[in-house]
Chain A
Amino acid sequence: MIRIVIRYAAVLAAMAVAGGQEPAPQARDLVAIRAGKILTAAEKGLEVIDGGVILVRGGKIEKIGPEAEVPIPAGATVVDATDRWAMPGFIDLHCHVGGSMRDINDMVHPTNPELSTRPTIEPDNENLRMAVAGGVTTVNYIPGSGTNLSGFGTLMHTAGGSTIDSLIVRFPGSMKVAQAWNPERHGGDLGASRMGMWWSLRKLLDRARDYNDAWTAFEKGLNKIRPEKHEDLELMRGLFQRKYPVLIHTADPRDVMGTVRMFHDEYGVPCIVSHGEFGGYKVAAEIAKRDLPANIGPRMFDFRFPLDEGKVLGIAAKYFEAGVKHLSLNTDSPVVPQEDLFFQGTLAVRLGLDPRTAIRALTIEPAKAILIDNRLGSLEVGKDADVILTTGDPLDPRNYVSWVMIAGKVVYDTAKERRRY
């Protein structure tokens, strides 16, 4: 009996001690990341902070700044990364690694606005695991380019959840259109050449615009007759409401120009010019004039023809020089492995782009292009805490990503698990 009492007392004492050490309520759930250097990718305030602190609470960035200006509240969990660089997680707008590659090309019709990648997501698949190790925290997982309009992509996190829904940042991420350079090979009976492709896309966009107008009028009470429901056009309404963009797989000057004319000039929907290879940079000034985003890759170089001693052109630099301010880079993974998104930046720099623009092209610019920069793409107060730590300049392959936080949750830490990449 006495023994029991003693034990009980010991337990009580232990509880009292633990209680005494418990952090103050306001510091609970607070994570403080002390980093040697922070690349914020922010458009307001400091872009580079030497010796900074990021305070994270409830999955959001509460405070960020130089160490002297951001005191760490007592009781906060401190991530000591003074020998690391911190930056926003990278974002890839054009990739196919959310699930299994076999699920991304359902060629039902020449245009398939009723399809989406959402049900095909496989959380925690091997490629997403590698993506995290490459610092990629958000991907726009889009269908392939087998048809003119292959469906809707899903903007998703690469880790931090075990279900499809828990990974989704926004659905739809974007609509996916392929303007030539693939769908013309197998578009069924319609859209086998550029004439057919252009026709069937316009036909569909016309219908979708009318559909959106009719429903918008009905919802505002301007029209009392309830319009007929068309499931295949439902998601396309979001384009005309500017909730999400259409991402267009396109290349070469003719098709890039066709893309710009159709989606921006004629239909006025938000659009992203993706790939842009095979000389597409020659009409980059037209993209710049309209202030449209370009999403370059997976090849970072074009060869100058006729063969001029094998000189190579950096495409990203060419777009930038032509005045395209909104530049992002893609891997089209698995064409280039998802974890090598950083290396697309490296190559772009190697071929003439300045490093600051390259970092922005992996972070804030893709976020802006896909209309999610209110949440992602930079380290700023109020944004989601998608933070990566690297051993140095992220564009240098001799460095690596050592720690990844997605929405305030640590999803990768090389101090605790084997380095994946």
Chain B
Amino acid sequence: MHFILYILYLVLVLGQDPAPGPVAIKNVRILTVSGAEIASGTILLKDGKIEALGADATIPAGTKVIDGAGKVVMPGLVHPYTRIGGSPSGSGNAPNHLAIEELAPSLDGYRPAIRAGFTTLALYPSGGPLSGQAVAFKPRGVARDQMSILSPAYLRIDVDANTQSKEQLRQALDGAKRWKDRRGGGDAKPDDRTAPLVQFLKGELRGLVEIQTPAEYLHFRQVLKPFEDPALKFAIVGGFDLWRGAEALGSRKEIVLLRPDLSYAPDTMIRTNPVAEMIAAGCTVGFIPGDGYALLQSHLFRVSLLVKAGMDRALALRAMTLVPAEAAGVGKRVGSLEKGKDADLLLLDGDPFCGTARIVMVIIDGRVEFEVTP
């Protein structure tokens, strides 16, 4: 009995990091993303949350104060589609698989992501067409339950434009629809491969659909047609060629997550701006960095080039933060600087789009996870 209590003590007390004391950053330019920019103000963090922010927020006694003069605060970046920490092999067609089972606490591989400003990530299960359910997490903590903030975060679907892939998807959705439409029937429950799809069709579980080409998009929409429901929610992770179908995607106001890159039209050296095409067509665009170190590190730079190429600043900020947070189902907790939201933020020594600004501090849940040594 003592032994069990001791274990409980270890798990409950030692397992938790000590709560960070309140921290305030003052005299700082605050890019809230969801609201107006604050040219110079204070942001107060307490118990891992944003306690207050504004031009004249008061700082209580006993608060650690950071002078942010000349600096900029913005929400931590969100990477909604990562395999960092996941095992290399895919799990095939397994909608019941939970990516949280793969989470790798204390992984060194998260450090580059943190340094690059990513404070929330979502690990997706690999495989397809229905590969399982993702987990949204913070790249800190020593146990998976400390890291995880939402599981399942979304149902991950990978559509290919071929009969087998479409048929697997169609059958799975068919089975789920029968459960969804079922009236009465007592205690019977769908099996665990069908249950997430029932949730998906009811809009209780978001989808994230990887779609490389316009053809895959049209095939996916065709498969989905009999199951459409206003409640159903999904975002699309788009391939580099998807912009060619921008008109079709835009007409349905799709949410599309793209690499923040200008690219070349296939077989040519003619530069294209897929992000601009999607936005012009009516889509909401969010950014995914990719998992390579160089890609993570250069995320802000790449977005600044899109801003140079004409992207609206406010949209660009949202696309790095709130849009991917919402796509991962955690938009209520992270992705913008608002009272009550998680204290996940970046301190930069300049405007995020000036090209030479460095992230000098990364705070996750009110705790400094990375700081450039002066």
Chain A contact residues, CB within 8 Å of chain B: 97, 100-101, 126-127, 130, 299, 301, 303, 307, 309-312, 334, 337, 339-340, 343, 346-347, 349-350, 395-398, 400, 421
Q: B113 — which chain A residues lie within 8 A by C-beta?
A: 310
Count of chain B residues near A, Cβ 8 A: 29
Least Cβ–Cβ distance between B146 and chain A, in angstroms: 20
Q: Which of B235-277 contact A (CB under 8 A)?
A: 262, 264, 269-271
Q: A100 — which chain B residues lie within 8 A by C-beta?
A: 269
CB–CB B112/A350 < 8 A: no
Chain B contact residues, CB within 8 Å of chain A: 108-109, 111-113, 115-116, 262, 264, 269-271, 293-294, 296-297, 301, 304-305, 307-309, 351, 353-358
CB–CB A346/B356 < 8 A: yes
CB–CB A397/B354 < 8 A: yes
Q: If the complex has contacts A303-B293, A310-B293, are A421 and B269 also in contact, measured as CB distance less than 8 A?
A: no
| Complex CA distance for A307 and B108, rounded to whole angstroms | 9
CB–CB B271/A350 < 8 A: no
Which residue of the partner chain, among B112, B262, B354, B356, contacts A309 with CB atoms under 8 Å? B112
CB–CB A310/B354 < 8 A: no
CB–CB B355/A350 < 8 A: yes
Q: If the complex has contacts A337-B262, A397-B355, are A343 and B305 also in contact, measured as CB distance less than 8 A?
A: yes
| Complex CA distance for A307 and B110, rounded to whole angstroms | 11
| Complex CA distance for A343 and B116, rounded to whole angstroms | 18
Which residue of the partner chain, among A309, A340, A350, contacts B111 with CB atoms under 8 Å? A309
Least Cβ–Cβ distance between A64 and chain B, in angstroms: 28
Q: Name the CB-closest residue of B to A311.
A: B115
Q: Name the CB-closest residue of A to B308.
A: A397
Q: A339 — which chain B residues lie within 8 A by C-beta?
A: 271
| Complex CA distance for A349 and B301, rounded to whole angstroms | 12
Q: If the complex has contacts A301-B294, A310-B115, A397-B354, are A350 and B269 also in contact, measured as CB distance less than 8 A?
A: no
Give 17 A-B contacts (CB < 8 Å), ordered by A residue.
A126-B269, A301-B297, A309-B108, A309-B115, A310-B111, A310-B297, A312-B297, A334-B264, A340-B305, A346-B356, A349-B355, A350-B357, A397-B307, A398-B304, A398-B353, A421-B308, A421-B309
Q: If the complex has contacts A130-B271, A310-B115, are A398 and B307 also in contact, measured as CB distance less than 8 A?
A: yes
| Complex CA distance for A97 and B271, rounded to whole angstroms | 12
Q: A312 — which chain B residues lie within 8 A by C-beta?
A: 293, 297
Which residue of the partner chain, among A301, A334, A346, A347, contacts B269 with CB atoms under 8 Å? A334
Q: Name the CB-closest residue of B to A337.
A: B271
| Complex CA distance for A307 and B109, rounded to whole angstroms | 9
| Complex CA distance for A347 and B304, rounded to whole angstroms | 12
Q: Name the CB-closest residue of A to B358.
A: A350
